[in-house]
Structure formats: structure tokens, C-alpha cells
Structure 1
Amino acid sequence: MPINFSLSPSEQSTRTAAANFAQHVLLPSRTSYLQHPDHPSRFQATQPAYAAAASAGLLKSLITKPHGGTAGSLVESTIMVEECYSVEPSTALTIFATGLGLTPLNLAAQPHHAEFFAPFLSGEGAPLASLVFSEPAGVANALEKGAPGFQTTAKKVGDEWVINGEKKWATNSAGWDFKGCDLAAVVCRDVTEPLEENQDPKEKVMIILVTRADLDRSGPDAFSLIRHISMPGHTSVSGPHIKYNNVRVPEKNVLCFPGQGAQVAFGAFDMSAVLVGAMGVGLMRAAFDAALAFGKSDNRNGAVPLLERQAFADLLSGIKMATEASRALTWKAAYVMEHGPGDYEARRELALAAKVYCSEAAVKACTDAINAVGITAYDLNQPFSDLLNTALVLPIFDGGNVGIRRRHMQQLMLSPTYDAWAATYGPSTQ
């Protein structure tokens, strides 16, 4: 198979459109939200930019074609994410988090779930979706044998499911008015019957779709926001601590019945792992471009521009090489996830590798850019501290590298059927 990294016409079109959107919508959004003093009001200030994304068909592009959307390839998605993250990551994350919220539906929706896609296909308003997964006590160990499992529960009562529990860090989950988003894919534990001795906790995991209409119908106490979380990076993103209290939904809202939910939830995070890799590439690219411009224009009161100093150039060349390597890994992971070679576990390993490697490389790249520029990088009028603050979350969100992603890689390597290079060369014949 020939290896060609040239962008196809469709990929080039995606890059051009994403770059234009980033410059003309996302960047002005940053100027707007930075006028607000606190995290919640900054989030709400991004709603016009989000609505512009919906109007431009960007939300529709987060839905696969079988479900009525216009989504392209996963490679095209990585290109779009990189372009947006290199310009304005915070507003962009709110948009891409809706994509994560819709991913379980893309993977598992049946014809009767079509109504849940409708708001995001219309191109109207600013509908928010959220994959509601993480919990205040953490979820990294919740599904191991003997663990209690997810603390957010669902119980079958008549022809309805009743949801109770607290969630945290689920981007967009509170909606624009902090009373609930338009669509939440809630990962929870079925407690209709107790967990049997030695039963795998995964057999109880399910995903239930909760709409804003469901929350309103369940009463004023059904949804509450316990705390807004302020973060050093992504300072316009909402990922609060929330609570569901006797939220009642009809059975048609069940996306994944008990025993099916874990596979779909982790499948969604396999897809997002590749996109986090692209986020890292976008931040590395921005750090390099800003440091390069500084190095060409500033001599620090010396005889030559900084770029002629070997120490400065060595740091920049390291950032550039790491960016190129990270982009190549991300593109490969995206292509392999959809086309192979290798079985799903082999392809999944590359997605995990992209998330881990690129997220950690982004932190180092931003730090190296700061060291190259020096004390000037500490000025908030420069982009470097904001880039670093944004990069710092990449290794610990979307499945922390230490607690989740590297452990998943370890589990793959421990498998008796592990085929280390299947995602590159195809299944081993030995």
C-alpha cells in the first residue's frame, strides 16, 4: 500500500473551512468571553459562536451519515480539531464535547432513536450534548471485579427508568442556563436487581439518553448544579458537578441496556482519544509558531535575532519535530481506526497511543517554548502561559493517561493474543 500524506480534496476543504471558522468565529469569541470575570459567564458568552457553528453545519458534521449527518472520515476530524485548537481551544472544546456526547448515538443508535439527533441536524439554535461519564469519587477503578461500580444508578420502575446520582467533569452537561443540557448520554449502573456475587460490574453498565424535556417533566428538583468548576485552562468551558434526582425517562431513551453500556462508552472514548491527540498537535503548532515569530523579531538586546542562537534554535527544532511526529501518529491512528489493518484491539492501541503521546508531548512543547522565549513568555499578553495551562489538562482528561489510558494499553499487551504490530503490518502469520 503506498503511503501518502498529501491531503485529499475533501481533507483540504475541511482544513480550509476549519481554519476560516477558527479565525472568523472562534478567535472573536475569545475576545468576547475574556471580558467576563468568572468561568460560568465566560461559558455563556460563547453561545453566539456555538450557534454560528450550528448554523454553519458543524454540529451536523458531528453525526455520521447513516444517522442523517455529514461526518467525514476520522482523519478529517483530526484536521478540523488541529485547526481550531491552534487558534482558540476553549470555545472549540465546547463544540467538540457535543461531538463526544453524540458519539455513543453514532455507535449504537437504533431507528427509534432518530428523534434524539434532530436538534443537532437542524442547524438551528445552540443545542448542547454531553457524554455524562465521570463521577466525583472517580471512575478509573469502578469496573474492576469487586468494585461497587458507577454510583449514578438507574432503576426500572414500571415502563420508566429512574436515574439518581452525581456526575462531575462532563462538559456541557448543565446546558447554557445550568438547568440541564439538550441531550445527555448518561452512563449509569442498573440497580433494578442487585449485583450477584462474582458478577462482572460491566454487566450492569447502561447508557440512558436524558433530554432537557425529560428533566423538566421530572420536576424542579430533578436536576441541580452543585458547583461550577473553574480551571486554569479552557477558561470558557463548563464541566460542572451536577446531580440527578429521580429523573424519569421512558424506555425508548435507553441507548444501551445493561451489559452493553461499557463497550459503547469506551468505544466513544477510543474515538475521542485520537481527537485529543489532534488537540495536542494544535497546541504544539501554536507554541512553535509563536516562539518562531518571537525568535525572528527579537534579539534580547544582542547583535543577532534569537533564532540565530543555537540554544534557542535547538529548543524550537525539538518542538517542530515533536509536532510533526505527533501529527503523523494522530493521522495514522485515525486512518487505522476506520480502515485497519488489524482487529479492533490492535487499532484501538494506536488511538490510545495518540492520546498519551501527543498530550504529554504538548505539555513539553509548551514548556520548551516558554524556556526558549524566557521571561517575556510570563507576560499574559503573550500566548505561552495560556497554551501551557490548556495543554496541562490533555494528559488527565478524556481518560487520564496514568489511571486509564496506559492501563488499557497494559491490558492489551497482557492479552495472550496480543499482536504488537498488527495495526501496521496486519495480523502476524507466525
Structure 2
Amino acid sequence: MAIDFTLTAEQQEVQRLARDFAQNVLAPITEKVDQEPDPLTAFQMVKPAYAEACKQGIAFSMLPKEYGGGGLSNVDFVIAAEEIQAVDPGFGTTVLVNGLGLMPVWYYGTEEQKKRFIGGATSDTSGEFIVGYAASEPPGMPGGTANFDAPAVGGAGMNVTAVQDGDDIVLNGRKYWPCNVGGWDNLGANLNLVIARTDRSVGGTAGLSAIVVERGTPGVTYRSISTSAQRSAPNCEIVFDNARVPAANVIEGARGNGDLVINRNFAWSGPVAGIGAVAVARSAYEDALRWAKTYTAGGPKPIFHYQYPGYVLGDVATQIEAARYFCWKGAHYLDQHDYHGEALGAMCKVHCTEMLFDCVYKCMQVVGVNSVDKKTKFDRYLREAALLPLYDAGNFGMQRRRVHGVMADENFNPRAFMDDEAIEFTKGMEGIDTIPGPTTDEPAMARS
């Protein structure tokens, strides 16, 4: 039978090892990290756990074995990610971003670049090697990163420039929100994959490239951003001031295709963010179920014996199961189609992360006012639930737009996902929804 939801013995071992790491390494520090007010200090508190993740092969488990990575399939990676994110979704994001920074090198880099950057990361024995991915920029420059692929000349959202000067590329501009990029001391991650505008004369779908910026590059500064959730995942503002990078650090196959890098990256991360939502919902559900089975509210039996708590938690369990299998489907689709799933990955991320908020709030209704007591974990679950739909190419920023662009293509097959057919993602699918209102060449009747 082609469809089988039974984990293999190897997958069960992946799950067991990830669960053991989460419960024995992460769980003892998670609450303290969440409560630490300084974002850089909070991240530094995770450093011993990250070193253990490097030792156990978790930190670079998504990368191909050929270059020293763990070689996990997308399905296996999602299985492991659920266990880690059920304890700390922020730590899961930190590991995920290692992939966002290095997977494009695998997709688009030369053999020399793959060995230098991926091999350099996976062969490091310090337990500190970390990789960032820098796409997001501040709003209002002029349009924010969500409009990175707008057809306007010069682009509407991506304004970090990369100009060739001899054997160097000179970077100028600001990034805002990228994760991991500051490293452990805000002096830079070991490697940062930066999407920058290498051609200002063309629109967003043609003028972007991917460049690796190494730690210690002069002219780059980092500042921590204090966030309300995922406190163990470090976000930063980056300022490039005539920062010089070797031209050899431009990822060869991504010259002029930085837009495709962004879309493919966030398609790959879709099921991982989705399983993060499943993981948080699972933790909230298990806590609420435990409460309902022990709390009597002064009645003769625990409240779970009443219809409302039983039905509500049954609905929550149903949503979690459905979302988990969507993530498995999304990851399997990526495995089947050369890590392309630009539409399905986005659909998975949107569906699962928006399911999460509903699940967490329903669990809080079962627990009642006691759920806002910080002795419970529901305060944190609620903050995580609010964040997940907004980050990782926000659901209204990029994810839904990508789905719209694919569906708008005249060759789109609405049964492609059901039939496991590949969908080639092209530049022609980008730019949709980036300019409001009708275009000037539409007939008057169409505009009315």
C-alpha cells in the first residue's frame, strides 16, 4: 500500500532521539530563557543546548550527507522537529534557519561553494557554528520585504544593494528580523546568506541575488530585536555600510534569481513551521486534558466528565491530527519533487499556523481563568500561537500570495497535489497582489 502512516523503525528512532533531546536538554532551560528580558542573553542561555544539538547531529540534520550533513529526508526532519518544537519552538526555528541559510547553497551553488560553506559548517567541531538567513527588511523602504518581487523598476521592497567593485561585492542597506544572523555575540553568525539587489535597473523578479557574508566582515553591525515569543530564537537588525564581500561568495545559480531562492526557501520551511504549530497545539492540548481530568471545580467529578470540555478537547485533538498529516504530506511532496513545493508548502504553513490559535484558545477556555496564571504555560502558548502565522514569510505577507500566483497560472492543475504532480514555479507566478487595484491596460468594463 503506497499510503502508510506507520513510522518505520528508523523514523521511530529519529523521533525518540529528538524527544529525548527536547525533554532532557531543552525542557530544563526553556522557562528561564522565555523569562529573560534581554534577547541576546536569552539566546546565549541556549548555547549549551545548541552545542549538544551539534554533537548529536541535530543542528545540520537537514543537509545532505555528501557534504557532511545528517541527510534526513523532509519527512524525517518534520518528525524530529515536532518533538523539539513541542518543548521550545524557538530552538526549532534556530535549527531551521541553519537550513534556510545553507540549503540554497546546495540548490544553486557551485561544487566549490558547497564544499566551502556546507562542508565548513558540518565539519566544525566547536559546537558553536551557526548560520543566518537575511531576507527581511524594515517596512517603508518603500514597501517592505513582502513586496520583494513587485514588478516596479528597482523593486518595491528589497533595498539592500550589492554592487560589484573589482573582485568584491559592496553591500549597503538594512535588514530587519533575520534570525541567527548576529551569532552568539552580535558580531555575526559564522555564515549569513543575504538576499540583496545586484541590479537596480530591473524589477524585483530579476534583480536579486544570494550572497554569503562571513563572520568578521568589516562594515556590518547587528542589533538584537526583543520579541514577545520564541525568545530562544535571536532576531536582529543588520546594517551594511560599504561592507566588502568576495565576489566569489555570490551563489552562482542564484544570480538574478534571489526571488526564486526566497520562494523555494519558504516553501521548504512551510511544513516545518506547520509542524511547529502542531507541536505547540499538542502541548497546550495535553496540558488542558490533564487539567480537565483532575480539576473538579467543586463538583463531584473532574470537569472532563461534562460535555463541553470533552467535546472541545475532542475537536482540538481532531485539528491536531489533521494538521500533522498535512505536514507529513507537504514534506513528502518536497521529497518527491526536488525540494520544490512553493504552493503546497505555503498552504501547509497557512493552514496549520492558523489552526494553532484556535486550538490554544479553546484549551484556555477549558482551563478557564486559571489559564492566565503564569504558573501554567498557556500565556506562552498564546504568544507562540500569535507569532507563528506572522513569521516565516507571514501568511498575509507572502504565503497566500505564493499560492495565489501558482493558481493564477493558466496551466495550473487543481488536482496536482492530489495526484502528486510536480508544479514548476516560475517568475511569471511572482508579483501577483503586489500592486493594488486594476492595471491601466484592463478594459473599462473589467475595471468597473
Tell me which residue corresponds to 1:141.
Answer: 147
Return closer, same or farther for 1:101/1:318 CA change in 2, 3 Å cut-off: same
Aligned AA (1:119) = A
Tell me which residue corresponds to 2:24.
Answer: 24
Which stretch shifts more, 250-259 or 161-170?
A: 250-259
Cα distance in 2 for residues equivalent to 1:307 and 1:224: 54
Cα distance in 2 for residues equivalent to 1:34 and 1:2: 43
Q: Secondary structure at the match of 1:62?
A: coil
TM-superposed deviation, 1:390 = 0.9
Cα distance in 2 for residues equivalent to 1:173 and 1:427: 36
Aligned AA (1:374) = G
Tell me which residue corresponds to 1:41.
Answer: 41
Cα distance in 2 for residues equivalent to 1:51 and 1:120: 13
Q: Secondary structure at the match of 2:147?
A: coil
Residue 177 of structure 1: which of 173, 185, 189 is its match? 185
Aligned AA (1:335) = H
Return closer, same or farther for 1:82/1:59 CA change in 2, 3 Å cut-off: same
- Tell me the TM-score normalised to structure 1 length: 0.92
Contact 2:162 2:198 (C-alpha < 8 Å) held by counterparts: yes
Q: Secondary structure at the match of 1:235?
A: coil
Tell me which residue corresponds to 1:206.
Answer: 209
Contact 2:356 2:385 (C-alpha < 8 Å) held by counterparts: yes
Q: Does 1:258 align with 2:252?
A: no
Contact 2:40 2:184 (C-alpha < 8 Å) held by counterparts: no
Q: Does 1:14 align with 2:11?
A: no
Cα distance in 2 for residues equivalent to 1:366 and 1:187: 35
Cα distance in 2 for residues equivalent to 1:50 and 1:156: 36
Return closer, same or farther for 1:289/1:265 CA change in 2, 3 Å cut-off: same
Residue 171 of structure 2: which of 163, 176, 190 is its match? 163
Contact 1:60 1:123 (C-alpha < 8 Å) held by counterparts: no
Tell me which residue corresponds to 1:81.
Answer: 81
1:202-225 Cα offsets, whole Å, 9 max, x none, are: 211000001104x1xx3xxx1223
1:356-407 Cα offsets, whole Å, 9 max, x none, are: 0000001111111111110010011101110110121111111111121111
- Tell me the TM-score normalised to structure 2 length: 0.88
Aligned AA (1:133) = A
Contact 1:22 1:84 (C-alpha < 8 Å) held by counterparts: yes
1:271-290, aligned counterparts within 5 Å? 271-290=268-287
Return closer, same or farther for 1:182/1:366 CA change in 2, 3 Å cut-off: same
TM-superposed deviation, 1:237 = 2.1
TM-superposed deviation, 1:329 = 0.6
Aligned AA (1:186) = V
- What stretches of structure 2 of length at least 5 have no aligned partner? 423-448
Cα distance in 2 for residues equivalent to 1:119 and 1:427: 34
Contact 2:14 2:80 (C-alpha < 8 Å) held by counterparts: yes
Q: Does 1:229 align with 2:230?
A: no
1:42-98 Cα offsets, whole Å, 9 max, x none, are: 111111111111122212313112323122110011111110111122233222222
Contact 2:266 2:392 (C-alpha < 8 Å) held by counterparts: yes
1:337-359 Cα offsets, whole Å, 9 max, x none, are: 2215xx987x4322111100000
Q: Secondary structure at the match of 1:61?
A: coil
Tell me which residue corresponds to 1:361.
Answer: 355
Q: Does 1:404 align with 2:398?
A: yes
Contact 2:39 2:231 (C-alpha < 8 Å) held by counterparts: yes
TM-superposed deviation, 1:148 = 3.2
Return closer, same or farther for 1:161/1:315 CA change in 2, 3 Å cut-off: same
Tell me which residue corresponds to 1:383.
Answer: 377
Aligned AA (1:151) = N
Q: Secondary structure at the match of 2:231?
A: coil
Tell me which residue corresponds to 1:124.
Answer: 126
Aligned AA (1:160) = D
Deviating beyond 3 angstroms after TM superposition, the runs of 4 or more aligned structure 1 residues are: 34-37
Cα distance in 2 for residues equivalent to 1:207 and 1:403: 21
TM-superposed deviation, 1:142 = 2.6
Percent identical pairs in the alignment equals 30
TM-superposed deviation, 1:274 = 1.2
Contact 1:112 1:252 (C-alpha < 8 Å) held by counterparts: no
1:252-331, aligned counterparts within 5 Å? 252-256=248-252, 257-331=254-328
Cα distance in 2 for residues equivalent to 1:426 and 1:30: 39
Tell me how large the CA RMSD over aligned residues is. Answer: 1.9
Contact 1:173 1:240 (C-alpha < 8 Å) held by counterparts: yes
Contact 1:57 1:123 (C-alpha < 8 Å) held by counterparts: no
Aligned AA (2:136) = S
1:95-110, aligned counterparts within 5 Å? 95-110=95-110
- What stretches of structure 1 of length at least 5 have no aligned partner? none
Cα distance in 1 for residues equivalent to 2:248 and 2:168: 9
Tell me which residue corresponds to 1:154.
Answer: 162
Cα distance in 2 for residues equivalent to 1:32 and 1:249: 38
Contact 2:62 2:74 (C-alpha < 8 Å) held by counterparts: no
Aligned AA (2:73) = S
